[in-house]
Amino acid sequence: MFPVRPDEPEYAKLPETTPPACNKYGKGIDLATDYPTLTGDSLRINGDTGIGENPNRYKQHGFYFTADNCIACHACESACSEKNDLPPHLAFRAVGYVEGGTWPSTKRVNVSMACNHCDDPVCLKGCPTRAYTKFAEYGAVLQDPNICFGCGYCTWVCPYNAPQLDPVKGQVEKCNMCVDRLEVGLKPACVSACLAGALDFGVIETTPENRHQTQTTIPGFPTPEITHPNIRFQLTQSLPREMTRADATPLRYVRDGQEQKYEPQVRIEEREREWGLKKLSTRENPLVLFTLASQAVVGAFLAMFLGPMVGLSELAPAAHPLVYPALLFALLGLETAALVVSTMHLGKPHRFYRAFNNLRYSPVAREVAGIAVFYNLLGAYTLLTTFPAAFAFLPPAWLAWLISAAGWGAVVAGPVALYFMHAIYRIPARPFWNHWQVLNSFFGSMFALGALTVALTYASVNFIQGKPFADLLAALAWPVFFGLALETIGLWFHARDLNRRGGEGAASHYEQTTTFGKTYTARNVALLCAIATSAALAAARPAGLTALWLWVGAALLILATSTVGRMLFYALVIPTTMPGAFFWRNKAFQEHAQKSGLAARPQTGVAMDAH
């Protein structure tokens, strides 16, 4: 048990309270009533089998934050770091702020934020490894870094930036509610260290002493509807109508005239349109390769398997007994490379198999399973069609059935895997991604890149062999056209909807048209050119060397468009996190520190990506 000091001050002790039956979201506070089988067990903190005697052990606890009192001294951060022995680049609790008004009447609201141990923890559902557990004890959402394999998906889905991906260790860690202190009746370390009485803790919906408000939101706090967080605020001072963030995110919070709620809006600044090419490269570059390659492989296999059934006899295995298996092996190689890259992108690649632990809830687990099934069926189809002699012990009818089953299985598994791949990005905490355009883009790339791969391979071989290929190219130009058109239509609606919705999504679009403005325009122009080219190639049916060169040109254009588009997709997203400060939790400062070498000094609090 956590050692209680004999002179422990009263303010560090949890008070005796009687909570109501339900919280503000209608969820029961007494977890022992909802989950009676989960009671009476030890939390086994550091191997200790003792059971705490806290009378409110099975009641949902939460933080209370009085913004009026917070002076941004960061004592809560220091106490948390000391208690959890955190390195300088990690903080489970952080103080950020929003400010507004004009001098001398300026106002600043400091917000200290850690994990809110939500009623509906999206990190728990999103984690593919099941590293998260919501305990009946105190309602704490705890994460086990020894299970985590460092994909960082929980850091994407959490609207409050609570889980922290340690780039050095390659694993996620987060606030543990100081459950060891709660077991002996003490408040968490951050609360006990608060100098100004801003931070308090207790059973949720029990207003602590010296407070009267229990609001569920505050300027800068993302909508509580996503996860039902267990934090309550008090803010009595009057604020200007508009508050802005101190970090580099182009967001401001504007008060609604009627409901008196602060809503995020884009902060328009005097910015020039730039290329932003250096900023295009992000930590997620392996995912750019993985998603595009997987979509191309699925699309190419669909074209090869279904093509002969819709009249493209040129694509039948018998028509090109050497090219067909060679292309299958090339696809297998490309998917292998994509899987290797995406696995090595994990903080702990050797734990990759844990990705299947949470098929019930996690879209990441479903995507990995879908791609694994497709990859294995593609391998089986390739093996069976290329080396039928190795299976001579089987009756010919059985072999034919096996080939057909593997092929049809891959035809179904591929698009299903891409559907799950898209579901990963439908995250309410990342409004730029949370749009049906993602599905359009992924299936569009499948059609365009897949058909392009098959068309170029067969056209090159036929050209070398002196055979005609104009009809095949004309037929395959249509899926290319369809895929590009699908993406373009989605992009148009995406931009329109982001601007209409406002908030973080509109801020991402603002970045898209300013920081990456020239790149964005160039990509759109290239996309339109690619559509026109593919339509022209389908209608004009050019032949010979001219046709081949035109297709190579179109392929380069489409490849560049797809790659830049996907890099923008990852670089532009602005999550619904809490506001940061000038140096802390400020993406612009982190980038500066990593580029300038400041990050090499631990006291800067920024780490180089090292895992």
Partner 1 sequence: MRKKFRRFVAGWTCPPKPVSAAEPALVRAVYFSLYRSTRQRRLRVAAGALLFLKHALRGALFSWPLYLLLVVGLLAPWPEAGWLLAIALPGLMVSLYILLKGVHDDYCQLVHGEVLRSTTLLTVLRPHR
| Residues lying near partner 1 in the complex (CB under 8 A) | 129-131, 144, 146-147, 326, 329-330, 332-337, 339-340, 343-344, 348-354, 357, 372, 375-376, 378-379, 382-383, 386
In the bound state with partner 1, the residue whose beta carbon lies nearer, of 372 and 529, is 372
Q: How many other CB atoms are there within 10 angstroms of residue 423's CB atom?
A: 17
Shortest Cβ distance from residue 71 to partner 1 (Å)? 40
Shortest Cβ distance from residue 362 to partner 1 (Å)? 13
Shortest Cβ distance from residue 23 to partner 1 (Å)? 30
Shortest Cβ distance from residue 129 to partner 1 (Å)? 7
Closest CA to 136 of 228, 63, 38, 66: 38
H or E segment and range at residue 232: strand 231-234
Shortest Cβ distance from residue 294 to partner 1 (Å)? 14
In the bound state with partner 1, the residue whose beta carbon lies nearer, of 339 and 418, is 339
How many contiguous H segments (helices) and E segments (strands) does the chain have? 17, 12
What angle do the packed helices 285-306 and 396-423 form, to 10 degrees?
Answer: 140
In the bound state with partner 1, the residue whose beta carbon lies nearer, of 381 and 569, is 381
The residues, any chain, with a CB within 8 Å of residue 323's CB and separated by 6 or more, are 457, 458, 461
Shortest Cβ distance from residue 337 to partner 1 (Å)? 6
In the bound state with partner 1, the residue whose beta carbon lies nearer, of 49 and 546, is 49
Shortest Cβ distance from residue 459 to partner 1 (Å)? 19
Closest CA to 421 of 440, 395, 398: 440
Shortest Cβ distance from residue 461 to partner 1 (Å)? 13
Three-point CA angle 421, 423, 427, nearest 5°: 125
**Residue 15 amino acid letter:** P
Strand partners, 200: 64
Q: In what order do the strands lie in the sheet with 199-203?
A: 199-203, 61-66, 231-234
Shortest Cβ distance from residue 350 to partner 1 (Å)? 3
Task: Tell how far CA 163 is from the center of its chain.
Answer: 12
In the bound state with partner 1, the residue whose beta carbon lies nearer, of 362 and 440, is 362
Tokens at residue 232, please?
A: 């309550």
Q: How many CA atoms lie within 13 A of 154 on its CB side?
A: 30
182 and 43 in contact (C-beta within 8 Å)? no
Instruction: Give the largest CA-CA distance in the chain.
Output: 92
H or E segment and range at residue 251: strand 251-255
Q: Measured between alpha carbons, how far is 449 from 453 in angstroms, rounded to an integer?
A: 6
Q: Measured between alpha carbons, how far is 431 from 452 in angstroms, rounded to an integer?
A: 32
In the bound state with partner 1, the residue whose beta carbon lies nearer, of 28 and 379, is 379
Shortest Cβ distance from residue 412 to partner 1 (Å)? 18
In the bound state with partner 1, the residue whose beta carbon lies nearer, of 334 and 560, is 334
In the bound state with partner 1, the residue whose beta carbon lies nearer, of 59 and 366, is 366
Residue appearing with tokens 């392929």: 555
In the bound state with partner 1, the residue whose beta carbon lies nearer, of 47 and 257, is 47
In the bound state with partner 1, the residue whose beta carbon lies nearer, of 127 and 427, is 127
